[in-house]
């Protein structure tokens, strides 16, 4: 039985006040709060166990290396990867997608080759592909969402041509909450020999993930949304794709031998991890994933589904609130604007006065904003510690906005 009060007690920040009101943290889509287990692990790592990894032979270096390296296995378990060597550790999704762009795509794609994207991608899954468009003449092909904010997997597959070299698609929209059937997209794409990169930044946070079952080629995650430290993350890379990648960044750790005239590489995945990594961030990330697995991602998903249903019911009662996206398979993320033309920033400022933290702006998803015909929305994004009572606080605060701005 999932006891949300017990879960909340694990997150010290949730007991604080903001502007004289109890904090109602609904900005999880941007970054999630950290449980004590993660905070304690970071303190312990810096206070008693800190050293650089991989290079030393002394006790602390071995200890730090062991703790750091064990996270690779934790991530593999969390994602359902068969082998921990399919996991490249990094600083988060943005680095992960850039690595795929530089390491895998740039050496392989030529002018006229095509990459398929959905219109609801985050800029982190758009801009690295624009580099290829600008520098190499690669063509970006966009697939729209329908009026509910759903992405039809068949529409993605219909966009494939003999020139298609990659599909890069989110598993869950950070704006609309729409869930995408990435497994069907992978199955269909592979029939044409097209690899698929799945942006799991949001999808991995709200439900169990099994990359082996999805059968994607690349799956990127970011630690700070998974209740871990910022500056941590990983990419799952299918072994066949890993063999096709060339190193993106050069430096220490990723080499075997360096001479004046030549260099040889370490084995993958180390070949793709140059320099001193985010040691403590990654250790904290591992603890966050252990925390999630102990809670059970099925339980997290069920809790958030209840929140989504309750929030949908309460928010749809506000007939002056325009909720963007109405997918039957969405997660607990709500983007909205208000009749009366109050700007999203004004709404979020009023909510903040009531202790409610939401995000306002384009959410790093400008092509989606253009598709929706808005410049900005307010976004309430729920996490594993939110409650139905907090939905009520949000609704009361929105009613106040309506009174002020209508």
Is residue 388 within 8 A of residue 310, CB to CB? The reply is: yes
Looking at the Cβ atoms of 33 and 94, the one nearer to ligand PLP is 94
Kindly tell me which residue out of 98, 201, 282, 377 binds ligand PLP, with binding defined by CB under 6 A: 201
The distance of closest approach from Cβ of residue 180 to ligand PLP in the complex, given in angstroms and rounded to an integer, is 11
Looking at the Cβ atoms of 27 and 113, the one nearer to ligand PLP is 27
Looking at the Cβ atoms of 30 and 315, the one nearer to ligand PLP is 30
Integer angstrom CA distances of residue 295 from 2, 202, 213, 225, 232: 8, 18, 22, 16, 21
User: Total binding residues for ligand PLP by CB under 6 A?
Assistant: 13
Which residue in this structure is represented by tokens 């253009």?
Answer: 370
Residue 354 CA, chain-centre distance (Å), reads: 28
Q: Does residue 122 bind ligand PLP (CB under 6 A)?
A: yes
Query: Which of 186, 364, 378, 401 is the catalytic position?
Result: 364
Q: Does residue 355 bind ligand PLP (CB under 6 A)?
A: no
> Has 378 been annotated as catalytic?
no
Between CA 93 and CA 234 the distance in angstroms is 7
Q: Does residue 124 bind ligand PLP (CB under 6 A)?
A: yes
Write b or e for each residue in 31-58: b if 16 or more Cβ atoms lie within 10 A of its Cβ, otherwise e: ebbbbebbbebbebbeeebebbbbeeee
The distance of closest approach from Cβ of residue 224 to ligand PLP in the complex, given in angstroms and rounded to an integer, is 6
The distance of closest approach from Cβ of residue 383 to ligand PLP in the complex, given in angstroms and rounded to an integer, is 13
> Which residues, 61 to 100, sit near ligand PLP by CB under 6 A?
92-94
Name every residue whose Cβ is closer than 8 Å to that of residue 206 and which is 6 or more positions away in sequence.
172, 300, 301, 304, 331, 332
The distance of closest approach from Cβ of residue 31 to ligand PLP in the complex, given in angstroms and rounded to an integer, is 8
The distance of closest approach from Cβ of residue 203 to ligand PLP in the complex, given in angstroms and rounded to an integer, is 8
Is residue 237 within 8 A of residue 86, CB to CB? The reply is: yes
Looking at the Cβ atoms of 122 and 271, the one nearer to ligand PLP is 122
Kindly tell me which residue out of 28, 33, 98, 222 binds ligand PLP, with binding defined by CB under 6 A: 222
**3-class secondary structure per residue, 82-141:** CCHHHEEEECCHHHHHHHHHHHHHCCCCCCCCEEEEECCCCHHHCHHHHHHHHHHCCEEE
The distance of closest approach from Cβ of residue 267 to ligand PLP in the complex, given in angstroms and rounded to an integer, is 26
> Which residues, 157 to 186, sit near ligand PLP by CB under 6 A?
170, 174
Kindly tell me which residue out of 202, 327, 337, 386 binds ligand PLP, with binding defined by CB under 6 A: 202
Dihedrals φ, ψ of 178, to 5°?
-55, 135
**Helix/strand/coil percent split, the chain, to 5:** 45, 20, 35
Residue 60: count of CB within 10 angstroms of its CB: 13
Q: Give me the residues that bind ligand PLP (CB under 6 A), please.
A: 92-94, 122, 124-125, 170, 174, 199, 201-202, 222, 224
Instruction: List, by residue number, the catalytic residues.
Output: 364
């Amino acid at each position: 039985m999932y006891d949300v009060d017990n879960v909340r007690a694990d997150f010290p920040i949730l007991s604080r006040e903001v502007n004289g009101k109890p904090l109602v943290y609904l900005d999880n889509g941007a970054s999630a709060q950290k449980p004590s287990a993660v905070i304690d692990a970071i303190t312990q790592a810096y206070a008693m166990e800190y050293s650089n990894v991989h290079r030393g032979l002394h006790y602390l270096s071995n200890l730090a290396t062991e703790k750091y390296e064990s996270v690779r296995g934790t991530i593999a378990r969390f994602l359902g990867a068969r082998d921990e060597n399919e996991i490249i550790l990094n600083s988060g999704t943005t680095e992960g997608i850039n690595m795929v762009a530089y390491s895998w795509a740039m050496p392989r794609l030529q002018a006229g080759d095509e990459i398929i994207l959905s219109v609801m991608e985050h800029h982190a899954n758009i801009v690295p592909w624009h580099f290829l468009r600008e520098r190499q003449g690669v063509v970006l092909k966009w697939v729209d969402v329908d009026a509910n904010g759903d992405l039809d997997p068949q529409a993605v597959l219909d966009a494939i041509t003999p020139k298609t070299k990659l599909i890069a698609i989110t598993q869950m929209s950070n704006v609309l909450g729409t869930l995408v059937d990435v497994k069907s997209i992978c199955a269909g794409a592979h029939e044409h020999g097209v690899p698929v990169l799945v942006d799991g930044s949001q999808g991995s946070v709200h439900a169990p993930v099994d990359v082996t079952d999805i059968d994607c080629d690349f799956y990127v995650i970011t630690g700070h949304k998974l209740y871990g430290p910022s500056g941590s993350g990983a990419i799952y890379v299918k072994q066949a794709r890993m063999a096709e990648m060339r190193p993106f960044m050069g430096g220490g750790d990723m080499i075997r031998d360096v001479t004046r005239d030549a260099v040889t590489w370490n084995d993958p995945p180390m070949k793709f991890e140059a320099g001193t990594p985010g040691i403590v961030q990654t250790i904290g990330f591992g603890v966050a994933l252990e925390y999630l697995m102990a809670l059970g991602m099925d339980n997290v998903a069920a809790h958030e589904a209840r929140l989504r249903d309750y929030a949908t019911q309460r928010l749809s009662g506000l007939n002056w609130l325009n909720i963007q996206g109405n997918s039957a398979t969405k997660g607990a993320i709500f983007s909205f604007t208000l009749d009366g033309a109050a700007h999203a920033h004004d709404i979020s400022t009023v909510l903040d006065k009531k202790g409610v933290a939401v995000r306002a702006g384009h959410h790093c998803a400008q092509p989606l904003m253009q598709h929706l015909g808005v410049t900005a929305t307010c976004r309430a994004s729920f996490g594993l510690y939110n409650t139905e009572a907090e939905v009520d606080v949000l609704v009361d605060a929105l009613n106040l906005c309506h009174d002020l701005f209508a």
